[in-house]
Chains A and B, each alone.
Chain A
Amino acid sequence: MSPNKYDVVIVGSGLAGIVAANRLADYNLEVLLLDENIHIGGQILRRIPQNLGVGAGREPSQVRRIGFRFIESVKEKKIRVMNRTKVLGIQPEGELLIEEDEKRAYTITADIILFATGARERFLPFKGWMLPGVLSTGAVQILIKGSGVLPAKEILIAGSGPFLYAVAYEFVINKGTVLSVLEQTMLLDNISLIGRLLYQFPKFTEGLRYLAKLLISGVPIRYGTQLIEARGDTGLTEVVAARVDRSGRVREGTEKVFKTRALAVGHGFVPNIELPQLAGCELEYSQDKGGWVVRVKDDLETSIERVYAAGEITGIGGALKSITEGNLSAMGILHNLGKVSENEYISHLQRLSKERRHHLAFGKCLNTLYKIPHGAIRSIPDETVICRCEGVRMGDIQKAIANGYDTPGALKRILRVGMGTCQGRICGPVLYDILSAYREIPAHDIPPFSVRVPVKAVSCGSLIS
């Protein structure tokens, strides 16, 4: 195999990617695992790196234990890994344009591509959310788990979904103070989720552990509560929150002010489908799966032959789904390459598909909870910035939609929303919700932003030949 030519290139080294890499490596294939981050493992497996030191030695969750073992295995099997490497684009015939170490860009070819690009967080903009001190829940998690640093001694955590508790838990066990967890959704809806979580056993006990710790530590959890405003001059100093009804409308007179220098926010997750989209893979819109996801066959091959997708990009469904799909896609690839017998393939396919269905059901509960109601979207005040990169406000967007600029492309052209360096990754999902709420059309009728090379920002210098 000549250099830069691989049997399988796996984009993304989160759970799905490293599980697949491990499985494929056993079959004498040239596998390359790429990740933009400094360390492999994606978001869930962030930990104190070896060169920094040793963490507190607390027992990691079952998922993390499994994940760390897979990382060790990647090293043991000497699977080729390229860290700090971005995929900028895909050309036909399996040619990927990559940028290594933010220094040089070149092409590599792959017989088979597996996209396992994971998810990013989703946000509901509010007044003042751009102040220094307002972080995503993921950012807090990463600072703590990856670098052993708290963003502040005290924090307020707000948004929706179980991830809030996980972050609050991390804060509390590392001797930080959580002033409160503000959950947008109603208590009743959360209780019904717990019921459905019962059959996701490891997740259930994990969730209980977090909640128990929070309750014991006296962290107030407030349901049906939404952020109104973050205030401060050059940095956050206080946050205003209020009770909301089920449709997301604010209840007058329920405002509460929290004095804090740090606020963590998050409303679930958005699949990173940009690369598969660029490659021409068909997408589908599914509320149960968290929005726009990659359409896949039973063995996780996409609509493009020899291109596979696994993990959060086929549907937000959590760690166990990613592990299952890492195995499933690997099996699909091995079958495609004639490396496993038909019988072996069928039996694995049946078993893993059943697991997958199970995890998709869990994902459906999660994504129902994470969904931001149209009422919440419509109550975003005019002066709230929606596009952080370009400073485009809600009022500008509403006016433009009323003037007939009612597609993502048209809004981009007239307002520059989505034209910043993040390429619409933060504001895009909100924009679709806004269009869906104001045009009163279903979200699946609003196409995602078009994607072009380079899919991520790249320095001019890297591109020079």
Chain B
Amino acid sequence: MFPRNAEVVIIGGGVIGASILYHLSKRKIKAVAVEKNELASGSSGACDGLIFLQSKKPGPHLQLALESKARFEHLQEELDLQLEYRNPGGMIIIEDEDELKVMDSFVEEQRNTGLDVSILDPHEAREMEPSLSEALSGATFSPLDAKINPILLTLAFISSAQRFGSKAFTDCEVTGIEVKSGRVRVVHTTRGKIETSVAVNAAGAHAPSIGKMVNVPIPIKPRRGQLLVTESVPPMVTSGILSARYIVAKFNSTLEKPQKGGISIDQTYNGNLLLGATREFVGFDKRTTYVGIKNIATHTSRVIPQLKDIHIIRAFAGLRPYTPDGLPILGKVEGIKGFVMAAGHEGDGVALSPATGALIAELIDIGSTHIPLDEFALERFHS
């Protein structure tokens, strides 16, 4: 029952593709998502569930995040699987004086835009999260930050879309996209070809290979993030936790210290602690490495000493779609009618998925978006 045509073909069955499928179905647009492996088997199935607003650069990035957050609040009512969405707030822990200086100005910038975030001294930080180490220089806290189960979120988007009649096909790799007279005509896959006028590139780290099919260079590179999973333990860490190093590394590479990666700590609904992360350019190698595991264990145990006696039961790696400026690539692509980009969220895919899905669906439906996507256009890299 593979379709021969569809209004929209979404390439990629991760959280972004799933969200777009869902939001299109809400607009009564019959879309088909095609996924080369299994749903949520890529980066969306190998990440933590942190939804951080305070870590977003003020400007369009933060705006997108705020739009997403507003949608997250109601998503559980709309979707038909348990999302494990919670809103305990988030902390960015600060480990030395250099970081404290950077975070002081970062937080001030954010507060000026009206964002609810503040700096805590080490004592206040430990009052909120007693398991934190005494050796920290402080932390930021925002009550806006939240958590979710990224796999269930992806599967929920898909299954809810299916209720509306949209379809998702797994084991279905895109092998080519036919463009005639400057518009998308056919998407070829290993399970058959689909005639369509809109193809959405939501292929994450694999977006460039989709772009090649229409001769469009896309500057997305896979960046491996390794994560450790602990056994389930009683509640120990309530807020989502990131480290300032993570922010510093993402936005201000002059301050980035090699060998000292950032960390993330997310205690899931089930009680497991997700400890992250590495950020490595190793092509498409999804293996976990001894060095990566060792570094994560060492750094996270420094921040939460109790971790030393907790068992790691699993480790995995996801390929985050990195872009040179840290912003996703969203919107129509010049020169090819019907080819739409929705990839490059590096580490923010889950957090930005509701807004991305809603806006891309809006774009496809009515041709414009209520939040302008100009800053996210692919063309910003063509200079």
Contacts and interface: CB of A to CB of B under 8 A. Distances in A.
- Consider the complex of A and B and state whether they touch directly, i.e. have CB atoms less than 8 Å apart: yes
Interface of A: 89, 91, 97, 105, 107, 390, 403, 407, 409-410, 413-414, 416, 419-421, 423, 452-454, 457-461, 463-465
13 contacts: A97-B290, A410-B39, A413-B40, A413-B41, A453-B287, A454-B312, A454-B315, A459-B310, A460-B308, A460-B309, A460-B311, A461-B297, A464-B297
A414 B155 contact: yes
A90 to B, nearest CB: 10
A236 to B, nearest CB: 25
Contacts of A421: 231, 311, 313
Contact of B293 (A407, A414, A461, A463): A463
Nearest to A450: B316
Nearest to B306: A460
A457 B308 contact: no
A182 B243 CA distance: 58
A276 B254 CA distance: 43
Contacts of B313: 420-421, 423, 454, 457
B262 to A, nearest CB: 17
B312 A413 contact: no
Given A409-B41, A452-B288, A454-B293, A460 B300 contact: yes
Given A413-B45, A454-B315, A457-B231, A464 B308 contact: yes
B257 interface: no
| Contact residues on B (Cβ < 8 Å of other chain), bracket | 35 or more
A459 B312 contact: yes
B270 interface: yes
Contacts of B309: 459-461
A410 B270 contact: no
Contacts of B312: 454, 457-460, 463
B151 interface: yes
A463 B311 contact: no
Q: Which 5 A-B pairs have the closest CB atoms?
A: A461-B308, A463-B297, A457-B311, A460-B307, A457-B313
B292 to A, nearest CB: 9
A410 B290 CA distance: 27
Given A421-B231, A461-B308, 16 more contacts: A89-B290, A97-B290, A403-B159, A409-B41, A410-B39, A413-B45, A414-B151, A423-B314, A452-B288, A452-B314, A454-B293, A454-B315, A457-B231, A464-B297, A465-B294, A465-B298
Interface string B296-324: 01101100000111111111100000000
B230 A460 contact: yes
> Interface SS of chain B: helix, strand, loop or mixed?
mixed
Contacts of B173: none
Nearest to A92: B287
Contacts of B297: 460-461, 463-464
A420 B297 CA distance: 19
A390 B313 CA distance: 13
Q: Which of A97, A390, A410, A463 has the most CB of B within 10 A?
A: A463
Contacts of A454: 293, 312-315
Contacts of B288: 89, 452-453
Contacts of A403: 159
A44 B307 CA distance: 36
Given A413-B155, A459-B310, A452 B316 contact: yes
A94 to B, nearest CB: 14
Interface of B: 38-41, 45, 151-152, 155, 159, 228, 230-232, 270, 275, 287-290, 293-295, 297-298, 300-301, 307-316
B267 to A, nearest CB: 14
Nearest to A463: B297
Contacts of A419: 314
Contacts of A410: 38-39
Contacts of B294: 105, 463-465
B316 A459 contact: no
Contacts of A457: 231, 311-313
B34 to A, nearest CB: 15
B160 to A, nearest CB: 13
Contacts of A460: 228, 230, 275, 297, 300-301, 307-312
A91 B293 CA distance: 13
A421 B40 CA distance: 22
Residue among A91, A390, A407, A461 with the highest chain B CB neighbour number at 10 A = A461
Contacts of B232: 420
Nearest to B230: A460
A89 B290 CA distance: 8
B315 A453 contact: yes
A91 B159 CA distance: 38
A254 to B, nearest CB: 40
Contacts of A97: 290
Contacts of B230: 460
A459 B308 contact: yes
Contacts of A416: 270
A302 B315 CA distance: 26
Nearest to B151: A413
Given A413-B45, A413-B155, A461 B301 contact: yes
Nearest to B231: A421
Contacts of B270: 390, 416
B314 A463 contact: no
Greatest chain A CB density within 10 A among B40, B151, B313 is at B313
A390 to B, nearest CB: 8
A454 B312 CA distance: 8
Contacts of A107: 290
A185 B155 CA distance: 41
B28 to A, nearest CB: 23
Contacts of B314: 419, 423, 452, 454
B298 A464 contact: yes
A100 to B, nearest CB: 15
B350 to A, nearest CB: 14
B241 to A, nearest CB: 15
B289 to A, nearest CB: 8
Contacts of B38: 407, 409-410, 413
B155 to A, nearest CB: 6
A414 B39 CA distance: 10
A413 B153 CA distance: 11
B276 to A, nearest CB: 13
A459 to B, nearest CB: 5
A465 B294 CA distance: 7
A207 B307 CA distance: 49
B152 to A, nearest CB: 8
A452 B315 contact: yes
A420 B287 CA distance: 20
Given A410-B39, A452-B315, A453-B288, A464 B45 contact: no
A410 B289 CA distance: 24
B50 to A, nearest CB: 19
